[in-house]
Structure 1
Amino acid sequence: MILFIIISFVVFWFLLCAVKIKYFIHMMQLESYKSNKYIEWLQNQKDRLHRRNDKIYVILSIVLLVVFLLSSSAIKDKTIVFAFIISFVTIVFFVISYRTKYESKKPIVYTQRAKRLYAMTLFLVVIDFAITVFIVLLVSRNLILYFPLWAGIQSILYYFLGYYVLFANYLVKPIENKINKKFYFDASKKIKELNNIISVGITGSYGKTSTKFITATILEEKYKVLKTPDSYNTPMGISKVINNDMSDEYDIFIAELGATHIGDIDEVAVLTNPTIGLITSIGPCHLETFKSIDNIMRTKYELIERLPNDGTSIFNYDNEYVKKLADKTFKEKILYGIENIEITDIFATDIRVSETGSTFTLCINELGTIECKTKLLGKHNILNILAGCAVAKVLGLTLEQMAAGISKIESVKHRLELIDPGTGVIVIDDAFNSNPDGAKAALDVLDEFKDRRKIIVTPGMVELGEIEEEENEKFGEYISKVCDVVILVGEKRTAPIVKGFQKLKYSSENLFIVNSLDEASEILKSLTKVNDVVLFENDLPDTYSEK
């Protein structure tokens, strides 16, 4: 009987650990397996590190352990009683933990790396389990009679599983580095061997994903194009695309190059070997890691420095920081913009922006002008289209081919994506990774919807370093000028936005603060009516959740 109880505890304790480890590995994956970012999450998310059920389980286990040690009844009799209670408690909490589904916007992806980290974490748990049992056996000489003692200790170890994942990540890092290095080397070798493919590198603080899709659509009027999917912009993501998808059937390869630290762009530029380099923008994104705009400028310019001598650099001349980089560049360059048309090579005039799209005249020095129409929302997207046309000019497309490509461009998912579900309420989905310029552009688009009640749902902006609070306060001021109803997600994080409202005396009756997107959706169900337009601006990853 007692042996069956002990086995039951061991099985369900490990199952309980397995469920919890999955959650922590998910958080590690969302932090790109970077231990420093995960540590920051551990420090800032105490309530999610140790949830209420975890605390109850550990407290109950400690209480049972203390009562067992202080009890004066016969050791054998009390062992059976306490063993049964501890095992029952463990089984109950495993069932609760297994059936409790935490909110997840982006589910865990069971990559080989995630599986290796899972295996290493479980290995550490097994080692500590064995050490605990060995010490108790060494001291007591009877594992069965003192089962409540080591079972209680194991329950305490469960409480620190978040740190096991951190330690496991350190242990597997050399293995991952070796694997990544091979993937990177194979991809770099492959793209160089396929010398018929022209490689285009696109980087910037924001706008690079939209520009990548826009550029690909335009170039497809003449070429067979391979582009990195979604927001694949890291060495491993790009290596995967090259290794798995690239072949000599393609003419053009377009890679989005991302960075959070100095040197990151150089690494992916060496990998992709571009002959055309495009910088879309520079602004206060990832300031938590870059520390300064100067460091961001230096990092983005690594792409231009890696271009061959006969390569072509393309710059958004409307951006003050990109303009500085363009001015110091002596390689062949193309400048595009909307504001500085007298000194740019590619620009747009006669811009007419509406709630259904835009029309404009595309002007390219040496080629002429042509009328263009796009379904994309917002003036800033015309700037992204000009970037795509700059690449198209280098690759020999005609104005007619460019205009045809522009007319076929579809909005990128979660980037000012217009959704009409047929209910009379229009939704603008701009939920991907907001920044100060992008947030303002989204509100400008919302403002184009005349004679409609305007509603925004947002958690504000993140990763802006020391200026985050200031920028969110400005965001709040701008929201108060455009929106009739505001739903903020996360009371702590959106406090600066509320401060911005208060400066302009925004009506508190039209302000709702919730802790999750689900709660926001419930409010929208009862709040929205025909002819409303709802903007979803930014959707923070699960690691920022306040619930």
Structure 2
Amino acid sequence: MKTEQLYSIFRNSAGVSTDSRTIREGEMFFSLWGANHNGNQFAAQALGKGAICAVIDDPLYETDERTILVDDCLIELQALASHHRKELKVPLLAITGTNGKTTTKELIGAVMSRIKKVHSSKGNLNNHIGVPLSILSSPADTELLIIEMGASHQGEIRTLCTIARPDYGLITNIGTAHLEGFGSFENIVKAKTELYEYLRKSNGVAIYNDRNPLLSEQIYRTVNRAVPYSAPDGTELIVEPVSYTKNLVVRLLHNKRERVISTGFFGRHNTENIRAAVAVSLFLGASIDDAAAAIEEYKPLNNRSQIMETGRNTLFCDSYNANPDSMRTAIEAFAETDSEKKVVILGDMLELGTKAHDEHLNILRLLNSLGISRVMLVGPVFKSLAGTFGYKTFHDSERLKEYLKIKPVEGAYVLVKGSRGMMMEKAYEAL
């Protein structure tokens, strides 16, 4: 079946799903292959729950006229999303980077929603499946699309740009994450700047951090049209931290209008995410008042620079993910908080390949240099290195949780951070 025919079905459907467990009546089901499953096996279940059709790529699972056989379900899903993007005819902002892309995306969405109908990627649906699903879930009255793009190998951002065709692009920063997949920092730079390459070829606009030498150099070498954070609409923008001993307070200054806002984030490093969000929003037509109000109201969720009061402790929850740069930044930010009783709980950083030993050792040395004495570490890499530092170690987060129930922490500021696969949030209920 041709993409145009699939699109006709899509326009008369309730949307698209790749999960037979959560599919809603009237949605199209795409039978995607996973690492440990064949999605075609769930086509009949999806149809039984009311799916309007099931797109399959294995003829063994054809049942009736509601099953649509294609060569490759993933390619068809991406083609359908690309076709829908053409039909939407609205501006699209693409955001990538090593750290801060989800927070920046959420902040821009919060600001721009005050003046436009915005649709943005949910959570971190930012890969070869998530980006098509985000585009396909865009309502017909959308006025601005904000799409997050992630990558763990070269070529992924290029593919996502081909599907999403961004008009504007933003790289938050470039650091050392997914080294196992990329192989080197130089390859990470090449992968992230595939967004800049696309914008150059399509005559799109890159909005960039002109205080970041690496990004400034890449902009100069790559992009035809670029807008700096420092003057997104031709007028100087200043965003600077005022206080960060608990939650972050920042000062905004633009066109002689000053705002001081108390945010829900911890750590002065989030100033750069806020600066990015304000700059992009001003460029796209929002006012400094829109930005200040939206950012002050925004409450971080999903364990991203989130402050949580439990009644026993104040948790600084940053456990959604971790890499050497974000781990270092979170620890340094936590060290600047104003509590005399600090506890740091860290989980292993995953996907670092041959750099894992050195990067975890660097984190332990940082903790030691900052004089943070009460440290708990989770995971085999930290466990293998922590002996000489005298830190408490645990095989996994479940064992950490059980320990905290027996020896509770009370009246402290507690930083919790680790890679997603370490499931560090399990410790929260014991804190």
One-letter amino acid of the structure 1 residue matched with residue 98 of structure 2: S
Give the Cα–Cα distance (whole angstroms) in 1 for the partners of residues 197 and 213 of structure 2: 20
Is residue 305 of structure 1 aligned with residue 197 of structure 2? yes
Secondary structure in 2 aligned to 1:415?
Answer: coil
Counterpart of 1:327 in structure 2 is 220
* Contact kept? 2:197, 2:222, Cα under 8 Å: no
Counterpart of 2:242 in structure 1 is 351
Structure 1 residue corresponding to 2:104, chosen from 200, 211, 215 = 211
Distance 1:304-1:532 versus aligned 2 partners, 3 A rule: same
Is residue 200 of structure 1 aligned with residue 93 of structure 2? yes
* Contact kept? 2:229, 2:280, Cα under 8 Å: no
More strand by share: 2
Deviations 1:44-87 (A, max 9, x none): xxxxxxxxxxxxxxxxxxxxxxxxxxxxxxxxxxxxxxxxxxxx
Deviations 1:240-274 (A, max 9, x none): 2222x212311111001111111110111111111
Normalised to the residue count of structure 1, the TM-score between the two structures is 0.62
Of 402-411 and 456-465, deviating more is 456-465
Counterpart of 2:331 in structure 1 is 443
Counterpart of 1:9 in structure 2 is none
How far did 1:384 drift?
0.5
Counterpart of 1:51 in structure 2 is none
Secondary structure in 2 aligned to 1:457?
Answer: strand
One-letter amino acid of the structure 1 residue matched with residue 32 of structure 2: R
Segments of 5+ residues of structure 2 without an aligned counterpart are 1-20, 24-29, 42-57, 62-68, 425-431
* Contact kept? 2:247, 2:267, Cα under 8 Å: no
Counterpart of 1:57 in structure 2 is none
Secondary structure in 2 aligned to 1:235?
Answer: coil
Name the larger-Rg structure: 1
How far did 1:215 drift?
1.1
Structure 1 residue corresponding to 2:123, chosen from 217, 230, 233 = 230
* Contact kept? 2:350, 2:419, Cα under 8 Å: no
* Contact kept? 2:196, 2:219, Cα under 8 Å: no
* Contact kept? 2:378, 2:396, Cα under 8 Å: yes
Distance 1:272-1:445 versus aligned 2 partners, 3 A rule: same
Is residue 283 of structure 1 aligned with residue 175 of structure 2? yes
Is residue 387 of structure 1 aligned with residue 273 of structure 2? no
Distance 1:250-1:482 versus aligned 2 partners, 3 A rule: farther
* Contact kept? 1:355, 1:377, Cα under 8 Å: yes
One-letter amino acid of the structure 1 residue matched with residue 135 of structure 2: I
How far did 1:290 drift?
1.0
Query: How many aligned residue pairs are there?
Result: 368
Give the Cα–Cα distance (whole angstroms) in 1 for the partners of residues 39 and 149 of structure 2: 31
How far did 1:395 drift?
0.9
Matches within 5 A, 1:396-545: 396-423=285-312, 425-480=313-368, 481-490=370-379, 492-495=380-383, 497-498=385-386, 502=388, 506=389, 508=390, 511-541=391-421
* Contact kept? 1:224, 1:252, Cα under 8 Å: yes
Distance 1:350-1:213 versus aligned 2 partners, 3 A rule: closer
Segments of 5+ residues of structure 1 without an aligned counterpart are 1-107, 123-168
Normalised to the residue count of structure 2, the TM-score between the two structures is 0.77
Aligned sequence identity (%)? 25
Distance 1:368-1:313 versus aligned 2 partners, 3 A rule: farther
Deviations 1:99-136 (A, max 9, x none): xxxxxxxxx999843699646999xxxxxxxxxxxxxx
Is residue 188 of structure 1 aligned with residue 82 of structure 2? yes
* Contact kept? 2:125, 2:148, Cα under 8 Å: yes
Matches within 5 A, 1:251-290: 251-290=143-182
Secondary structure in 2 aligned to 1:493?
Answer: helix
Of 445-454 and 387-396, deviating more is 445-454
Of 283-292 and 475-484, deviating more is 475-484
More helix by share: 1
Give the Cα–Cα distance (whole angstroms) in 2 for the partners of residues 248 and 120 of structure 1: 29
Distance 1:117-1:379 versus aligned 2 partners, 3 A rule: closer
Matches within 5 A, 1:153-192: 178-192=72-86
Give the Cα–Cα distance (whole angstroms) in 2 for the partners of residues 267 and 253 of structure 1: 18
Is residue 292 of structure 1 aligned with residue 184 of structure 2? yes
Secondary structure in 1 aligned to 2:99?
Answer: coil
Give the Cα–Cα distance (whole angstroms) in 2 for the partners of residues 240 and 349 of structure 1: 36
* Contact kept? 1:113, 1:176, Cα under 8 Å: no
Give the Cα–Cα distance (whole angstroms) in 2 for the partners of residues 264 and 528 of structure 1: 44
One-letter amino acid of the structure 1 residue matched with residue 160 of structure 2: V
How far did 1:401 drift?
1.3
C-alpha RMSD of the superposition? 3.1
One-letter amino acid of the structure 2 residue matched with residue 317 of structure 1: D
Give the Cα–Cα distance (whole angstroms) in 1 for the partners of residues 157 and 264 of structure 2: 31
Give the Cα–Cα distance (whole angstroms) in 1 for the partners of residues 202 and 39 of structure 2: 47
Distance 1:183-1:312 versus aligned 2 partners, 3 A rule: same
Counterpart of 1:27 in structure 2 is none
How far did 1:368 drift?
4.2
Give the Cα–Cα distance (whole angstroms) in 1 for the partners of residues 345 and 241 of structure 2: 32
Give the Cα–Cα distance (whole angstroms) in 1 for the partners of residues 220 and 297 of structure 2: 33
One-letter amino acid of the structure 1 residue matched with residue 341 of structure 2: R
Of 439-448 and 345-354, deviating more is 345-354
Give the Cα–Cα distance (whole angstroms) in 2 for the partners of residues 276 and 414 of structure 1: 28
Matches within 5 A, 1:20-39: none
One-letter amino acid of the structure 2 residue matched with residue 213 of structure 1: E
Secondary structure in 2 aligned to 1:375?
Answer: strand
How far did 1:540 drift?
4.4
Distance 1:268-1:518 versus aligned 2 partners, 3 A rule: same
